[in-house]
Amino acid sequence: MSELKNDRYLRALLKQPVDATPVWMMRQAGRYLPEYRALRAEAGDFMSLCKNAELACEVTLQPLRRFPLDAAILFSDILTIPDAMGLGLHFETGEGPRFERPIMDMRDVVNLPIPDPEQELGYVMNAVRTIRRELKGEVPLIGFSGSPWTLATYMVEGGSSKTFGKIKKMAFAEPEILHMLLDKLADSVILYLNAQIKAGAQSVMIFDTWGGILTPRDYREFSLGYMDKIVAGLIREYDGRKVPVTLFTKNGGMWLEAMAATGCDALGLDWTIDIADAKARVGDKVALQGNMDPAMLHASPERIRQEVQKILDGFGQGSGHVFNLGHGITPDVDPENAGAFINSVHELSRLYHL
Ligand code: 1CP
């Protein structure tokens, strides 16, 4: 087993005692950091950063040089899988992701290959291996993937969407096509995450950014069912250590019990749910990650500290909490405020672990 200097994040996910509440930030490497913008400008475009292991490693480490974060997260994107399936991904400046060949019909789904993680996605595994080497055991490395449903929204819509009209039409008018797509994506995600674990990811997180746009019944049928399949297919112990799995459905606060029943180790919470309520509902089964509103990072350091205190108080005494934002940090945040957030968590949380 490789030694870790700081394993608070892994311990909290497994509800083992910690000295302070661990903290990391979704999208902690990114455009709010001037050093990221500089490297991104040099690389040309976002996917060139992802596909170069040295650059992806450098960007992953940038926030850790500034802040005492308790985990690193692989610098990559959820859309690497659809890209590897041949949909032709490109990022248009200011517009977000676009696919040249979106999924339209059954034939497109039947023809879709399941990518080999060490071939088409070998650049991601190289990034994981490089980051693990450069982290030198300081903190654990988080691997990740999108949920099948969230990936399918981009693949069917052809990019980001506000209304999700195309994918909902497929779900309601041609559900057999969507189910075949989701099943292929679940198989691809299992291979992809297991390869990340073998390459060195010490925990994995599944981002279901768009599960919360569904009715409770449709969430179970089109999103949760496939995350359940993934959790059952993942390597849960590697290199002598448990590999915790975190599920995050944005706007999924209504469904925590069903999410916990997948057998995952932790649930990511957005800011629309009170962490005390979440703990009362599922705290005996899973650890919780979250859940400060990312927009709070625009307030003063004093106000941020008060909010951190309220969330720590909501979770209460003991382990099982990984502090985070309820969604990604936005590009317009002052890095100073991110630092104030992280320091507040470490300073104020010690009292909850006596
Ligand atoms: O420099 C740039 O212009 C690119 C911006 C960017 C970045 C920094 C994108 C494009 N992706 C990323 C990195 C990224 N994406 C990480 C890296 C690790 C980290 O520091 O957290 C992760 C985990 C993601 C995951 C991701 N990508 C999600 C799931 C989580 C979430 O935020 O909801 C989603 C939905 C995406 C799609 C995506 N990629 C990029 C953009 C702008 C988007 C969102 C598009 C949309 O709103 O629909």
What interface predicted TM-score (ipTM) does this complex get?
0.93
347 inside domain = yes
Tell me the chain's radius of gyration from C-alpha atoms: 19
Alpha carbon of 226 to ligand 1 centroid (Å): 21
Verdict on whether the full-model pTM lies above 0.90: yes
pLDDT of residue 272: 98
Query: Going by CA atoms, what residue is nearest to atom 7 of ligand 1?
Result: 30
297 inside domain = yes
Q: Spell out the residues 6+ positions from residue 7 whose beta carbon is closer than 8 angstroms to its own.
A: 140
pLDDT of residue 209: 98
143 inside domain = yes
Alpha carbon of 311 to ligand 1 centroid (Å): 25
Structural domain for 321, as ranges: 8-353
Q: CA–CA separation, 109 vs 112, rounded Å?
A: 5
1 inside domain = no
Query: Going by CA atoms, what residue is nearest to atom 3 of ligand 1?
Result: 46
Tokens 């057999």 found at: 176
Alpha carbon of 27 to ligand 1 centroid (Å): 7
pLDDT digits (tens, 9 = 90+) for 300-327: 999 999 999 999 999 999 999 999 999 9
Tokens 């779900």 found at: 171
Please indicate whether residue 28, judged by its CB atom, sits closer than 6 Å to ligand 1. Answer: yes
In whole angstroms, what separates CA 151 from the centre of its chain? 13
Please indicate whether residue 36, judged by its CB atom, sits closer than 6 Å to ligand 1. Answer: no
pLDDT of residue 102: 98
Torsion angle of the four alpha carbons 224, 228, 233, 239, in this order, in degrees rounded to the nearest 10: 100
Please indicate whether residue 262, judged by its CB atom, sits closer than 6 Å to ligand 1. Answer: no
Please indicate whether residue 83, judged by its CB atom, sits closer than 6 Å to ligand 1. Answer: no
Atom of ligand 1 nearest to the CA of 91: 10
Q: Are 84 and 155 in contact (CB under 8 A)?
A: no
The count of domains in the chain is 1
39 inside domain = yes
| Catalytic residue annotation | 27, 31, 40, 77, 154
Residues of the chain with pLDDT under 70: none
Tokens of 76: 């990559």
Q: Spell out the residues 6+ positions from residue 341 whose beta carbon is closer than 8 angstroms to its own.
A: 23, 25, 292, 297, 304, 308
pLDDT digits (tens, 9 = 90+) for 191-213: 999 999 999 999 999 999 999 99
100 inside domain = yes
333 inside domain = yes
CATH number at residue 118: 3.20.20.210
Q: What stretches of the chain show up as alpha helix (H) in DSSP?
A: 8-13, 34-43, 46-51, 53-66, 80-84, 106-110, 122-135, 148-157, 165-173, 175-199, 216-218, 225-233, 256-260, 275-282, 301-315, 335-349
